[in-house]
Structure 1
Amino acid sequence: MSAQAFLPVDLHCHSVFSDGVLTPAELAERAHANGVRLWALTDHDEVSGLSQARAHAQDRGMTFVDGVEISVTWAGHTVHVVGLGINPAHPGLRASLHAMRVGRQARARAIGDRLADLGFAHAYDGALPFAANPELVSRTHFARFLVQQGHCADLGEAFRRYLGDGKPAFVPTRWASLTQAVEWIRQAGGKAIIAHPGRYDLDDTRSHALFSQFQDLGGVGIEVLTGSHTAQEYAIYAQVARRYGFQVSCGSDFHGPSEGRIDLGGLPPLPAGLVPVWQEWL
């Protein structure tokens, strides 16, 4: 039986400090109620919610891991790298993430302009109330605005029609490089993990290039069990982890109670024969 079976783990979720809908305290309560024993908060390019999350996790007897999810531009694709076990007070990490958030603000205003051109007036102002952190207005916040206004039935439709890569309101941007993201995480004492690799539209050649470069830079693992993967992809990326000798992580990628396929703590045990990234935190 795997370590996950003995210790329910969720090492990827988001709070109102990025694009989630619950506070860190509310996430801690939900994780505990769902049986999670080892939990990480991994907001996008932001660590301000970690102290609150840690305090509430400890109050409920959960082991907490400080995390972050960094947006990366690699070979023309957006890839996400999760950092686990970081020191959120590391000055280099904090300065780098702040610079990332400044870029996000400019992109958000450009998305609002594109949606306005498509006939959705005041889209930027409409997205703002969904973002507790005005530095991190994201596509998800615009999607919630479109759903609230009745323009789309759900977030998935908003991305498929307007906000997804290459869609009419999509605004390309240059995030951190893979080298930078891994370096920031490692300098802050953390482990770098490729988030939900099944989400990226990469053929076998490019996937191999990504995994090999990531490993050469000091990245240690990939997410195998994630709310962004299907059951078939669990098996595929378990094989990838074995092939490259990656440690493996799991996380629901939970954003809110009515969003996504998996609730906090709702993932199955790890497949056999894999090395969990969290073994040193047990």
Structure 2
Amino acid sequence: MKYDLHSHSQFSDGKLSVAELVQRAADKGVDVLALTDHDTLAGIAPAQAAISELNLPLTLVPGVEISTRWHSFEIHIVGLQVDTENEELNELLGQQQQKRRERALKIGERLDKAGFENTHEQALALAEKAQVTRAHFARVLVAQGAAKTMQGVFKKYLSRGNTGYVPSTWCNMGTAIDAIHSAGGQAVLAHPARYKMSNKWLRKLIGEFSGLGGDAMEVAQTQQAPCERQFLGQLARENGLLCSQGSDFHFPLPYIELGKNLYLPKDCDGVWQRWQSQP
């Protein structure tokens, strides 16, 4: 079975519709796909409908990626196998979405003062019915010639200390974990090696995440050195966490693809092993 337990659609900052996403996942040989858009469950029902209508050999895991604050870091927690109708989870996501709207307005104001025109309006147009994220602003600035790539825009304008950066006010890790558990899901620490922290701080993060009741952490990603995968697997075992894997797919890239290079170290227990009925 090929599991990809971290992906995004146009309902957050992905570029593909849910129908395009599930079709691509099936084309790439993925058997089990988790749709984990940022702070929203809006894409789950349409994705399930698309799988049925297209008659795809694909199992969809209802999921979400929740942004949280931990010390000075923005930490993402993926919820897997969540009940999309759960009141506590939906209340938290509503609060997160309001924070995203307020942050987007402030980012637009800062970029406008820096000489870029109508960035918030253009980001809204790109997002259509989805939430506006920094990725939408990055696409707008690339189109306006601020940088050649989205990565360049983030580095120059949208990261900490730069013109368009606005600090987030997300919930804390414990709140996110509790809401995921209330919805019957598993809380997974997303891409732990991407937070640009020392190993000392990484161990502290994983230890606190586990102590708050976290269930698993992402160990395998598509673009990753084997030594990193082994190290993360070791940290998961040391902290009593299950292991997950996911591409964090937003749109096709030469080095990031649905289902690509996803496997766990041999001594890791997959998060799916605790599911009541595995696909």
Q: Does 1:278 align with 2:272?
A: yes
Matched, 1:35 2:34: no
Please, which runs of 5 or more residues in structure 1 have no aligned partner? 1-6
Residue number in structure 2 paired with 1:200: 195
After TM superposition, the score normalised by the length of structure 1 is: 0.92
> Where in structure 1 do 4 or more consecutive aligned residues deviate above 6 Å?
none
Cα distance in structure 2, aligned partners of 1:142 and 1:241: 35
Question: Which residue of the partner structure matches residue 169 of structure 1?
Answer: 164
Q: How many residues align?
A: 274
Report the 3-state secondary structure (helix = DSSP H, G, I; strand = E; otherwise coil) of the residue aligned with 1:168. coil
Q: Distance in 2 between matches of 1:257 and 1:206?
A: 32
Partner of 1:242: 237
CA distance in 1, matches of 2:224, 2:89: 29
State the Cα distance separating 1:213 from its structure 2 match: 1.7
Task: Give the conservation status (yes or no) of the 8 Å contact 1:19–1:141.
Answer: yes
Q: Which residue type is aligned with residue 126 of structure 2?
A: F
Note if contact 1:14-1:254 (Cα within 8 Å) is conserved in structure 2.
yes
Aligned equivalents of 1:158, 1:167: Cα separation in 2 = 10
Matched, 1:12 2:6: yes
Alignment partner of 1:130 is 2:126: yes
Summarize deviations over 1:206-257 as a string: whole Å, max 9, x none. Answer: 2222212211221111111124644442232122122223111111111112
| Structure-2 separation of matches of 1:236 and 1:130 | 38
Taking structure 2 as the reference length, what is the TM-score of the superposition?
Answer: 0.93
Residue 98 of structure 1 and its aligned partner are, at CA, apart by 0.8
Distance 1:178 1:268, change over 3 A: closer
TM alignment of 1:141-220, pairs within 5 A: 141-220=136-215
Q: Match of 2:77?
A: 81
Amino acid at match of 1:247: L
% identical aligned pairs? 39
Q: 1:141 to 1:48 in 2, by over 3 A?
A: same
- For 1:264, the equivalent position in structure 2 comes to 258
Aligned partner of 1:23 among 17, 20, 25: 17
Q: CA deviation at 1:269?
A: 2.2
Residue 113 (structure 1) shift: 1.1
Report SS of the residue matched to 2:244.
strand
Conserved in 1, the CA contact under 8 Å of 2:180 and 2:187? yes
Counterpart contact for 2:222–2:259, Cα < 8 Å: no
Does 2:87 align with 1:91? yes
Distance 2:230 2:155 in 1: 26
Aligned to 1:3: none
Structure 1 residue 40 displacement after superposition: 0.7
CA drift at 1:152 = 1.3
Match of 1:278, SS state, is: helix
| Unpaired runs of at least 5, structure 2 | none
- Picking from 26, 29, 50, the partner of 2:44 is 50
Question: Any idea what SS the aligned residue of 1:137 has?
Answer: coil
